[in-house]
Amino acid sequence: MRAAMIGDNCIDYYERLGRWYPTGNVVDTGVNMKKLGMNVSLISTTGTDEHGKLVVRTLNELGLDLSHLTIKEGMTAVTYMDLVDGERIHGEYVEGVLENMEFSEEDISFAAEHELIHSALWGKAENILGEIRKKSQRIFSFDYADRLEDPIIRITAPYIDYGFFSYHSGRDPFIEDYLRERVSHGMKQAIATLGEKGSLVYDGKEFYEYGVFPCEVVNTIGAGDSFIAGYLYGVLNGISIEKCQETGARLASEVIGVFGPWTEQRSE
């Protein structure tokens, strides 16, 4: 099975710690799916600087299909980060070549060949999902992060089967109503990641709640992306919602235990 990751790639740069590594919402989800045995393609744009070369080299070594990764003259996107007591702190984000990222007709046709098409809030793919959907009736998923009122939700709603949302207050009436609303607007499943409180899924009939696996917290970066990877891997393999949650939770616990957003992460 093949999964297409459409959207952002960047460098997380921990200036105080003198460490950096390639990342991005769809990159992290894609790498974690690759480690689970999926064939993964990245459709994105990176720069011609040393950071861009690191992105290409690292993802090539990991076995991702980069045939539709555009190399554009300019600076690779960078997020300036810090780490305090295991919690990541996001600083300035410099968009670089992603600012004017565009997708070609060839990119759209290529994406439609995959069993899964996944994107995320900062991936700039919201306006091409409809075109991909015309060519494919496969599985579409989207990571909306914690932007529960973002206009992109309305724009993408007609095309998304599995929507992921970050909500750290735990299960409460608000998030239950919110997930119900997302499904009523067309999603097959609306999934909320609740941080240390686990996850909550609504499938149009009932709610499914699942906890977390205890682990040593080194860095929480990538926890949500890895949960999504495990969950979607379960979806593609036809397992139950509870098992999808379990797979996602287990993978997230492994990632939280390392510095970077996937296991065996190499940083420069």
Total length of the chain? 268
pLDDT in tens, 209-224: 999 998 888 877 788 9
Give the other-Cβ count within 10 Å of 240's Cβ: 10
Q: Which two tokens stand for residue 61?
A: 């070594």
Q: Is residue 212 part of a domain?
A: yes
| CA dist list (Å): 195 to 118, 209, 216, 227 | 21, 13, 14, 10
The structure tokens 């015309």 sit at 134
**Domain CATH for 179:** 3.40.1190.20
Q: Find the Cα–Cα–Cα–Cα dihedral 13, 19, 21, 24, rounded to 10°.
A: -30
Q: Is residue 268 part of a domain?
A: no
pLDDT in tens, 130-189: 999 999 999 999 999 999 999 999 999 999 999 999 999 999 999 999 999 999 999 999
Pairing of strands 87-94, 78-84: antiparallel
Q: Specify which residues 20 forms β-bridges with.
A: 13
Tell me what pLDDT residue 264 has: 62
Q: Is residue 266 part of a domain?
A: no
Q: Is residue 88 part of a domain?
A: yes
pLDDT of 225 above 60: yes
Strand order in the sheet with 189-193: 65-72, 39-47, 2-6, 116-120, 139-143, 162-166, 189-193, 199-202, 207-210
Q: Is residue 167 part of a domain?
A: yes
| Range with lowest mean pLDDT among 114-118, 186-190, 214-218, 259-263 | 259-263
pLDDT in tens, 37-79: 999 999 999 999 999 999 999 999 999 999 999 999 999 999 9
* Residue 125 to residue 147: CA distance in whole angstroms: 16
Number of domains in the chain: 1
Could you tell me the pTM of the whole model?
A: 0.94
Return the H-helix or E-strand segment holding 109: helix 105-111
- Sign, Cα dihedral of 42, 44, 46, 51: negative
Q: In terms of residue numbers, what domain contains 51?
A: 2-256
Q: Specify which residues 71 forms β-bridges with.
A: 46
Q: Is residue 265 part of a domain?
A: no
* Residue 128 to residue 156: CA distance in whole angstroms: 10
| CA dist list (Å): 98 to 37, 52, 102, 243, 267 | 28, 12, 9, 35, 22
Q: Which two tokens stand for residue 143?
A: 């990571």
The structure tokens 């609504």 sit at 202
- Confidence at 86, pLDDT banded by 50, 70, 90: low
Q: Specify which residues 118 forms β-bridges with.
A: 5, 141
Q: Is residue 261 part of a domain?
A: no
